[in-house]
Amino acid sequence: MPIEGFDYKEFAASMSEQAKELVPKELQDREKEYIVKTLGNFTLLAGEALYNDTQLNLTVEQAVFITQVIAEWSFHKSIDLIHSGILPQYWDSIMQKIAFTIFEVAKQAVIRKIPQDQLLQAVEHHVIKVYNSSIEELQKKGIIDEETKNRAESQSNIDAMAKQAQEEQMRQKQAAIEEAEKNQAEAEKRREERRKQRKLDKQKASMPQGITQKQMKLMTLALVLKILSQDKVTTILNKFDSNDSLAISEYMNMADLESHIDGDLITNCLKEMKEYLPIKRKLTKENVLGDLLRIYRKVPREKIERVIKNERPKVKKFIAQTYDGEFSELPLRVAGIVAQYVEESI
Protein backbone atom coordinates (compact mmCIF):
# COMPACT_ATOMS: atom_id res chain seq x y z
CA MET A 1 0.00 0.00 0.00
CA PRO A 2 1.42 3.44 -0.94
CA ILE A 3 2.37 5.84 1.84
CA GLU A 4 -0.82 7.68 2.67
CA GLY A 5 -0.38 11.43 2.98
CA PHE A 6 3.04 11.51 1.25
CA ASP A 7 2.68 13.85 -1.74
CA TYR A 8 6.13 13.35 -3.24
CA LYS A 9 5.39 15.50 -6.28
CA GLU A 10 4.49 18.52 -4.19
CA PHE A 11 7.48 17.88 -1.93
CA ALA A 12 9.89 17.71 -4.90
CA ALA A 13 8.45 20.94 -6.29
CA SER A 14 8.90 22.60 -2.88
CA MET A 15 12.54 21.49 -2.68
CA SER A 16 13.18 22.89 -6.16
CA GLU A 17 11.69 26.25 -5.25
CA GLN A 18 13.85 26.45 -2.13
CA ALA A 19 16.93 25.57 -4.17
CA LYS A 20 16.29 28.50 -6.51
CA GLU A 21 16.66 30.86 -3.56
CA LEU A 22 19.85 29.24 -2.28
CA VAL A 23 21.97 28.73 -5.39
CA PRO A 24 25.15 30.85 -5.37
CA LYS A 25 24.52 34.19 -7.05
CA GLU A 26 27.83 34.14 -8.93
CA LEU A 27 26.93 31.05 -11.00
CA GLN A 28 25.77 31.29 -14.60
CA ASP A 29 22.09 30.79 -15.37
CA ARG A 30 22.64 27.40 -17.03
CA GLU A 31 24.57 26.24 -13.95
CA LYS A 32 21.79 27.40 -11.63
CA GLU A 33 19.24 25.60 -13.82
CA TYR A 34 21.30 22.41 -13.65
CA ILE A 35 21.37 22.47 -9.84
CA VAL A 36 17.61 23.02 -9.52
CA LYS A 37 16.75 20.49 -12.24
CA THR A 38 19.05 17.80 -10.83
CA LEU A 39 17.74 18.25 -7.30
CA GLY A 40 14.15 18.20 -8.52
CA ASN A 41 14.59 15.06 -10.64
CA PHE A 42 16.35 13.01 -7.93
CA THR A 43 13.90 14.15 -5.26
CA LEU A 44 10.94 13.22 -7.45
CA LEU A 45 12.39 9.80 -8.40
CA ALA A 46 13.29 8.95 -4.80
CA GLY A 47 9.90 10.09 -3.51
CA GLU A 48 8.06 8.08 -6.13
CA ALA A 49 10.12 4.95 -5.38
CA LEU A 50 9.45 5.24 -1.66
CA TYR A 51 5.77 5.96 -2.23
CA ASN A 52 5.27 2.86 -4.37
CA ASP A 53 7.40 0.50 -2.24
CA THR A 54 4.80 -1.50 -0.34
CA GLN A 55 7.42 -3.66 1.42
CA LEU A 56 9.10 -0.90 3.46
CA ASN A 57 6.04 0.25 5.41
CA LEU A 58 7.57 3.70 5.89
CA THR A 59 5.75 6.51 7.65
CA VAL A 60 5.25 9.89 5.98
CA GLU A 61 7.94 11.37 8.23
CA GLN A 62 10.47 8.69 7.26
CA ALA A 63 9.76 9.08 3.55
CA VAL A 64 10.08 12.87 3.79
CA PHE A 65 13.34 12.53 5.73
CA ILE A 66 14.99 10.23 3.16
CA THR A 67 13.80 12.38 0.25
CA GLN A 68 15.01 15.55 1.91
CA VAL A 69 18.48 14.08 2.53
CA ILE A 70 18.74 13.24 -1.18
CA ALA A 71 17.61 16.77 -2.10
CA GLU A 72 20.16 18.44 0.17
CA TRP A 73 23.12 16.35 -0.97
CA SER A 74 22.09 16.71 -4.61
CA PHE A 75 22.17 20.45 -4.10
CA HIS A 76 25.60 20.57 -2.45
CA LYS A 77 27.42 18.05 -4.67
CA SER A 78 26.10 19.54 -7.92
CA ILE A 79 27.57 22.87 -6.81
CA ASP A 80 30.86 21.13 -5.97
CA LEU A 81 30.97 19.62 -9.46
CA ILE A 82 30.34 23.02 -11.06
CA HIS A 83 33.20 24.54 -9.04
CA SER A 84 35.49 21.58 -9.73
CA GLY A 85 36.31 22.42 -13.34
CA ILE A 86 35.08 19.05 -14.60
CA LEU A 87 33.23 19.33 -17.92
CA PRO A 88 29.39 19.29 -17.69
CA GLN A 89 29.01 16.06 -19.72
CA TYR A 90 30.42 14.10 -16.78
CA TRP A 91 28.25 15.63 -14.07
CA ASP A 92 25.12 13.48 -14.50
CA SER A 93 26.86 10.12 -14.10
CA ILE A 94 28.53 11.25 -10.87
CA MET A 95 25.31 12.72 -9.48
CA GLN A 96 23.37 9.54 -10.29
CA LYS A 97 25.86 7.43 -8.32
CA ILE A 98 25.60 9.84 -5.38
CA ALA A 99 21.78 9.89 -5.40
CA PHE A 100 21.55 6.09 -5.61
CA THR A 101 24.04 5.70 -2.75
CA ILE A 102 22.13 8.12 -0.52
CA PHE A 103 18.84 6.39 -1.32
CA GLU A 104 20.11 2.93 -0.39
CA VAL A 105 22.10 3.98 2.71
CA ALA A 106 19.30 6.15 4.10
CA LYS A 107 16.61 3.55 3.36
CA GLN A 108 18.52 0.76 5.08
CA ALA A 109 19.37 2.97 8.06
CA VAL A 110 15.70 3.89 8.54
CA ILE A 111 14.64 0.25 8.28
CA ARG A 112 17.23 -0.70 10.90
CA LYS A 113 16.07 2.21 13.08
CA ILE A 114 19.51 3.78 13.28
CA PRO A 115 19.44 7.17 15.10
CA GLN A 116 19.26 10.16 12.78
CA ASP A 117 22.64 11.61 13.72
CA GLN A 118 24.36 8.30 12.96
CA LEU A 119 22.34 7.98 9.74
CA LEU A 120 23.47 11.41 8.57
CA GLN A 121 27.10 10.62 9.38
CA ALA A 122 26.88 7.38 7.39
CA VAL A 123 25.30 9.18 4.43
CA GLU A 124 28.00 11.85 4.46
CA HIS A 125 30.75 9.24 4.61
CA HIS A 126 29.38 7.31 1.61
CA VAL A 127 28.63 10.48 -0.41
CA ILE A 128 32.22 11.68 -0.05
CA LYS A 129 33.51 8.19 -0.83
CA VAL A 130 31.44 7.84 -4.03
CA TYR A 131 32.20 11.42 -5.11
CA ASN A 132 35.98 11.01 -4.67
CA SER A 133 36.06 7.58 -6.31
CA SER A 134 34.17 8.99 -9.30
CA ILE A 135 36.71 11.82 -9.58
CA GLU A 136 39.63 9.39 -9.37
CA GLU A 137 38.04 7.24 -12.06
CA LEU A 138 37.93 10.25 -14.39
CA GLN A 139 41.61 10.87 -13.75
CA LYS A 140 42.53 7.25 -14.43
CA LYS A 141 40.75 7.46 -17.76
CA GLY A 142 42.73 10.60 -18.60
CA ILE A 143 39.63 12.78 -18.69
CA ILE A 144 40.93 15.16 -15.99
CA ASP A 145 44.44 15.95 -14.77
CA GLU A 146 45.88 15.90 -11.25
CA GLU A 147 45.16 19.58 -10.65
CA THR A 148 41.49 19.23 -11.58
CA LYS A 149 41.23 16.08 -9.44
CA ASN A 150 42.64 17.89 -6.39
CA ARG A 151 40.44 20.91 -6.96
CA ALA A 152 37.33 18.73 -7.32
CA GLU A 153 38.08 16.72 -4.18
CA SER A 154 38.68 19.89 -2.16
CA GLN A 155 35.19 21.24 -2.92
CA SER A 156 32.67 21.17 -0.08
CA ASN A 157 29.72 23.49 -0.48
CA ILE A 158 28.04 22.01 2.58
CA ASP A 159 31.00 23.08 4.73
CA ALA A 160 31.12 26.49 3.04
CA MET A 161 27.43 27.09 3.78
CA ALA A 162 27.86 25.92 7.36
CA LYS A 163 30.76 28.34 7.80
CA GLN A 164 28.77 31.12 6.18
CA ALA A 165 25.82 30.41 8.46
CA GLN A 166 28.12 30.45 11.48
CA GLU A 167 29.65 33.76 10.41
CA GLU A 168 26.21 35.22 9.83
CA GLN A 169 25.15 34.01 13.27
CA MET A 170 28.23 35.67 14.77
CA ARG A 171 27.47 38.91 12.91
CA GLN A 172 23.91 38.85 14.16
CA LYS A 173 25.11 38.13 17.68
CA GLN A 174 27.61 40.99 17.50
CA ALA A 175 24.96 43.28 16.07
CA ALA A 176 22.62 42.27 18.90
CA ILE A 177 25.34 42.98 21.47
CA GLU A 178 26.07 46.39 19.92
CA GLU A 179 22.35 47.19 19.81
CA ALA A 180 21.98 46.16 23.45
CA GLU A 181 24.97 48.30 24.44
CA LYS A 182 23.53 51.23 22.49
CA ASN A 183 20.14 50.81 24.14
CA GLN A 184 21.80 50.54 27.55
CA ALA A 185 23.81 53.72 26.92
CA GLU A 186 20.69 55.57 25.77
CA ALA A 187 18.75 54.30 28.78
CA GLU A 188 21.54 55.44 31.10
CA LYS A 189 21.57 58.82 29.36
CA ARG A 190 17.83 59.16 29.90
CA ARG A 191 18.23 58.14 33.55
CA GLU A 192 20.98 60.72 33.99
CA GLU A 193 18.80 63.40 32.42
CA ARG A 194 15.97 62.46 34.77
CA ARG A 195 18.35 62.59 37.76
CA LYS A 196 19.54 66.03 36.69
CA GLN A 197 15.96 67.20 36.25
CA ARG A 198 14.98 65.88 39.68
CA LYS A 199 18.05 67.57 41.14
CA LEU A 200 17.12 70.83 39.44
CA ASP A 201 13.51 70.53 40.59
CA LYS A 202 14.72 69.90 44.12
CA GLN A 203 16.96 72.96 43.95
CA LYS A 204 14.11 75.10 42.72
CA ALA A 205 11.77 73.72 45.39
CA SER A 206 14.28 74.35 48.19
CA MET A 207 15.26 77.81 46.96
CA PRO A 208 13.77 80.59 49.10
CA GLN A 209 10.95 82.49 47.48
CA GLY A 210 12.14 85.35 45.26
CA ILE A 211 15.84 84.34 45.24
CA THR A 212 17.38 83.59 41.86
CA GLN A 213 19.86 80.84 41.05
CA LYS A 214 22.63 83.43 40.70
CA GLN A 215 21.84 84.95 44.08
CA MET A 216 21.94 81.48 45.62
CA LYS A 217 25.41 80.88 44.19
CA LEU A 218 26.60 84.25 45.49
CA MET A 219 25.21 83.38 48.93
CA THR A 220 27.02 80.04 48.83
CA LEU A 221 30.26 81.78 47.90
CA ALA A 222 29.70 84.26 50.72
CA LEU A 223 29.50 81.35 53.17
CA VAL A 224 32.87 80.09 51.94
CA LEU A 225 34.49 83.52 52.06
CA LYS A 226 33.41 84.03 55.68
CA ILE A 227 36.01 81.51 56.81
CA LEU A 228 38.89 82.97 54.74
CA SER A 229 41.32 85.70 55.64
CA GLN A 230 40.54 89.26 54.62
CA ASP A 231 43.40 89.35 52.11
CA LYS A 232 42.10 86.29 50.29
CA VAL A 233 38.55 87.62 50.41
CA THR A 234 39.68 90.90 48.85
CA THR A 235 41.63 89.08 46.13
CA ILE A 236 38.61 86.96 45.23
CA LEU A 237 36.11 89.81 45.33
CA ASN A 238 38.31 91.86 42.99
CA LYS A 239 37.64 89.27 40.30
CA PHE A 240 33.89 90.00 40.32
CA ASP A 241 32.13 92.99 38.87
CA SER A 242 31.16 95.70 41.35
CA ASN A 243 27.50 94.64 41.66
CA ASP A 244 28.28 90.98 42.40
CA SER A 245 31.14 91.93 44.70
CA LEU A 246 28.85 94.24 46.66
CA ALA A 247 26.15 91.54 46.86
CA ILE A 248 28.65 88.99 48.20
CA SER A 249 29.87 91.45 50.82
CA GLU A 250 26.29 92.09 51.95
CA TYR A 251 25.59 88.35 52.20
CA MET A 252 28.77 87.87 54.24
CA ASN A 253 27.48 90.40 56.76
CA MET A 254 24.13 88.61 57.16
CA ALA A 255 24.08 87.05 60.62
CA ASP A 256 21.58 84.34 59.65
CA LEU A 257 22.87 83.63 56.11
CA GLU A 258 22.89 79.86 56.66
CA SER A 259 19.18 79.81 57.44
CA HIS A 260 18.36 81.20 53.98
CA ILE A 261 20.03 78.34 52.12
CA ASP A 262 19.08 74.66 51.99
CA GLY A 263 21.97 72.35 52.95
CA ASP A 264 21.69 70.18 49.85
CA LEU A 265 21.53 73.29 47.72
CA ILE A 266 24.77 74.57 49.24
CA THR A 267 26.46 71.26 48.40
CA ASN A 268 25.20 71.33 44.82
CA CYS A 269 26.28 74.93 44.31
CA LEU A 270 29.75 74.19 45.66
CA LYS A 271 30.10 71.21 43.35
CA GLU A 272 29.03 73.31 40.39
CA MET A 273 31.38 76.15 41.36
CA LYS A 274 34.25 73.70 41.76
CA GLU A 275 34.05 72.85 38.07
CA TYR A 276 34.88 76.44 37.20
CA LEU A 277 37.56 77.12 39.82
CA PRO A 278 41.10 77.40 38.43
CA ILE A 279 43.38 74.42 39.03
CA LYS A 280 46.65 75.26 40.71
CA ARG A 281 49.40 74.61 38.24
CA LYS A 282 53.05 73.84 38.73
CA LEU A 283 55.25 76.93 38.75
CA THR A 284 57.27 76.77 35.54
CA LYS A 285 58.77 79.31 33.13
CA GLU A 286 56.32 78.18 30.46
CA ASN A 287 53.26 78.69 32.71
CA VAL A 288 54.42 82.12 33.92
CA LEU A 289 55.20 83.26 30.39
CA GLY A 290 51.89 81.87 29.12
CA ASP A 291 49.91 83.71 31.81
CA LEU A 292 51.58 87.01 30.97
CA LEU A 293 51.11 86.60 27.23
CA ARG A 294 47.44 85.87 27.84
CA ILE A 295 47.17 89.13 29.80
CA TYR A 296 49.03 91.07 27.08
CA ARG A 297 46.50 89.98 24.47
CA LYS A 298 43.68 91.52 26.50
CA VAL A 299 45.26 94.58 28.14
CA PRO A 300 47.02 97.51 26.41
CA ARG A 301 50.74 97.71 27.07
CA GLU A 302 50.45 101.28 28.35
CA LYS A 303 48.17 100.12 31.16
CA ILE A 304 50.59 97.39 32.22
CA GLU A 305 53.53 99.83 32.14
CA ARG A 306 51.60 102.17 34.45
CA VAL A 307 51.11 99.28 36.89
CA ILE A 308 54.86 98.56 37.07
CA LYS A 309 56.19 102.13 36.68
CA ASN A 310 57.42 102.21 40.31
CA GLU A 311 58.92 98.71 40.23
CA ARG A 312 62.63 97.90 40.17
CA PRO A 313 64.50 97.94 36.86
CA LYS A 314 64.82 94.15 36.83
CA VAL A 315 61.05 93.74 37.05
CA LYS A 316 60.51 96.25 34.23
CA LYS A 317 63.14 94.45 32.12
CA PHE A 318 61.45 91.11 32.84
CA ILE A 319 58.07 92.44 31.68
CA ALA A 320 59.59 93.98 28.54
CA GLN A 321 61.30 90.71 27.59
CA THR A 322 58.18 88.63 28.10
CA TYR A 323 56.44 90.69 25.45
CA ASP A 324 58.93 89.13 23.04
CA GLY A 325 58.34 85.66 24.45
CA GLU A 326 61.61 85.61 26.39
CA PHE A 327 62.26 84.76 30.02
CA SER A 328 65.01 86.84 31.74
CA GLU A 329 67.26 85.83 34.62
CA LEU A 330 64.61 86.80 37.18
CA PRO A 331 64.16 83.94 39.72
CA LEU A 332 61.18 81.75 38.89
CA ARG A 333 59.42 82.32 42.21
CA VAL A 334 59.80 86.09 41.85
CA ALA A 335 58.60 85.89 38.25
CA GLY A 336 55.47 84.04 39.40
CA ILE A 337 54.77 86.74 42.01
CA VAL A 338 55.20 89.47 39.38
CA ALA A 339 52.83 87.72 36.99
CA GLN A 340 50.21 87.33 39.74
CA TYR A 341 50.66 90.96 40.77
CA VAL A 342 50.14 92.16 37.19
CA GLU A 343 47.04 90.04 36.76
CA GLU A 344 45.47 91.27 40.00
CA SER A 345 46.35 94.94 39.35
CA ILE A 346 44.83 95.35 35.90
Q: Which helix (H) or strand (E) holds 115?
A: none
Is-contact 220 266, C-beta < 8 A? yes
Residue 255 burial (CB < 10 Å; 0-12/13-18/19+)?
exposed
Greatest alpha-carbon span in the chain = 124
**What's the rounded Cα separation, in Å, for the pair 133 and 309?**
106
pTM: 0.50
- Residues in CB range of 290: below 8 A, 6 or more apart: none
pLDDT in tens, the chain (346 residues): 578 788 989 999 999 999 998 898 888 999 999 999 999 999 999 999 998 887 878 889 999 999 999 999 999 999 999 998 899 999 999 999 999 999 999 888 888 889 888 999 999 999 999 999 999 999 998 998 889 888 888 888 888 777 877 877 888 888 888 888 888 888 888 888 888 777 666 655 544 555 677 777 788 778 777 777 787 778 778 877 888 888 888 888 887 777 666 666 666 666 665 554 555 567 888 888 888 888 888 888 888 888 888 888 888 888 888 888 888 777 888 888 888 888 877 7
Q: What's the burial of 207, exposed, middle or buried (CB within 10 Å: 0-12/13-18/19+)?
A: middle
